[in-house]
Amino acid sequence: MRTFHCDNCRQPVYFENTQCTHCGHMLGLLPEYLRVSALRHLEGDVWQPLMPLAARRRYRQCANYRDHQVCNWMVPAESPETFCLACRLNDVIPNLSRAGFRDQWFRLERGKRRLLYSLIKLGLPVFSKHDEPHKGMAFAFKSQLDAEPGEQVMTGHAQGYITINIDEADAALRERNRLDLQERYRTVLGHFRHEIGHHYWDALIADSPSIDGFRELFGDERADYASALDAHYANGPPGDWQDRFISAYASSHPWEDWAETWAHYLHIVDTLETAGNFGLRVEHRLPDGGARRAEPDFDPYRIARFEPIIEHWLPLTFAFNSLNRSMGLQDLYPFVLSRTAIEKLAFVHRVVRAQGAYIDGYLAAQDFGGSGWRVRLDRWLERLRR
C-alpha cells in the first residue's frame, strides 16, 4: 500500500487513520482517488478535502464512519448513497449489542478496506450483490452466538457471498486456530484475500478462455470438492507439497490452490508497493562477491511483466524474515516459493492484468505455460540463488 500524509501539516498518516495525531484535522479516504485526505468542515455533514486534486469536491462521512467509527471512507456529497463503496458490500454486520463485537467489527472492516484498495488498484470488477445479484459480492460478519438454529458459522465463500466468522478478529482465538490447523500464517486480511480469490475464480476463470491454462497449472477443478477436503483433513498434504503448492492447504483441491495463490499475489503486490513508497532497498552481499538486490521502484499494481515482481520479492522476504528473527518473531513471510508456485503466481498476474486498464501487449502475448516461460523462470531462480 502507498504511504499517506496529512494535507494540512504533512504528518505521515496510516490508511486507517480518522484524525491527524499532529494537527487534529479529521481524515477520510476518498474512494475515487484511493487517497487519505485531511478534511475541512463546511456545514451540516458536508466536508471539503484539503488534498489539492479534490479541493473542489464535497463529501459526507460514510454512515459507518459517522455512527460507529468502524470506517474512514467518504461518500460524494451529491451521491444518494448513505454508505461508502466498501460498506455497501456488507450484507450482515455483527450484533453490536454484544460486548466487544464493535471492536471485532472494526478489525474486520480494516481488513476488508485494505482488500478493496487492492482490488480497485488492480482494476478488477467490484460490484455489490445489490447492484449485480449474479456477479456481485457481499460480506457477512457472523458469530456462532447469533447463528440460526442448526447453522454452523464458517469462514468461506459461496457464489460471491463471503462469510467471515468474527472470532477471526480475536487475535488469541485466531492464533489457537492457526496452531490447531498447523498453518504458517493466519490473519484477518489473509482470510479476505483468500475468500475473494474464490469469487474471482468464478468471475475470471470459470467458463472463460483461461480455464485450460488454469487446469494445466492448478489441476481439474471438477474433482469432487467435499471429498478432496475430507481427504486433506484426514491424511494431510502430500509429502512433496512444497514442490508444487504455495501452502499445504493449497494441495487440497484446485479451487483452494487458486485461492491461496491469489491471496499470496495480493500479499506480494501490496507489500512491494509499501516497500517502494518507503524507498526500501535491500542488498545482500554474497561470499563470491555477487549480491542479491531489491529496490522496487515500480508500481506492482500496474506493471505488465511479472518478472520484476518476483525478482524483487524474493530478496525482500529474506531481509524481512531476518529482521523479524532478530526480534524473536516468526517470519513475516514464512513460505518458500517453488518454481511451480511462481508459475501459478504469474498466471494470476496475467489474468489480473487482462482485466486491468493498463494491460500491456507484450504481457498479453506471453504463454505462461510454455517452455519459453519456464526457461526464463529457471534463469531468474538460478540468478537469485547465487
The predicted model gives 68-86 an average pLDDT of 96
Instruction: For residue 104, give its domain range.
Output: 86-196
Q: Can you give the pLDDT at residue 355?
A: 83
C-alpha–C-alpha distance, residues 116 and 124, integer Å = 10
Q: Let me know whether 240 and 366 are in one domain.
A: yes
Phi/psi zone of residue 342: left (φ > 0), alpha (ψ -120 to 50 degrees), beta?
Answer: alpha
**pLDDT tens by residue, 185-202:** 999 999 999 999 999 999
Q: Let me know whether 22 and 103 are in one domain.
A: no
The predicted model gives 161-168 an average pLDDT of 96
Q: Is the Cβ–Cβ distance between 234 and 269 less than 8 Å? A: no
Q: Can you give the pLDDT at residue 357?
A: 41
- The number of residues making up the chain comes to 386
Radius of gyration over every alpha carbon of the chain, rounded to an integer in angstroms = 22
Q: Can you give the pLDDT at residue 360?
A: 36
Q: Let me know whether 110 and 180 are in one domain.
A: yes
- Sequential DSSP letters for 114-181: HHHHHHHHTT----BTTT-TTT-BEEEEE-GGGPPTT-----EEETTEEEEEGGGGSHHHHHHHHHHT
Q: Let me know whether 217 and 242 are in one domain.
A: yes
Q: Can you give the pLDDT at residue 277?
A: 94
Q: Let me know whether 141 and 261 are in one domain.
A: no
C-alpha–C-alpha distance, residues 198 and 111, integer Å = 17
Q: Can you give the pLDDT at residue 290?
A: 74
One-letter identity of residue 144: Q
Q: Let me know whether 181 and 32 are in one domain.
A: no
- 196, 219, 244 - which closes a domain: 196
Distance linking the first and last C-alpha atoms of the chain: 30
Q: Let me know whether 284 and 308 are in one domain.
A: yes
Q: Can you give the pLDDT at residue 195?
A: 98
- 143, 173, 196 - which closes a domain: 196
C-alpha–C-alpha distance, residues 108 and 127, integer Å = 19
The C-alpha cell 447492484 sits at 131
Q: What is the dihedral of CA 129, 132, 137, 141, to 10 degrees?
A: -10
Q: Let me know whether 9 and 117 are in one domain.
A: no
The C-alpha cell 442448526 sits at 150
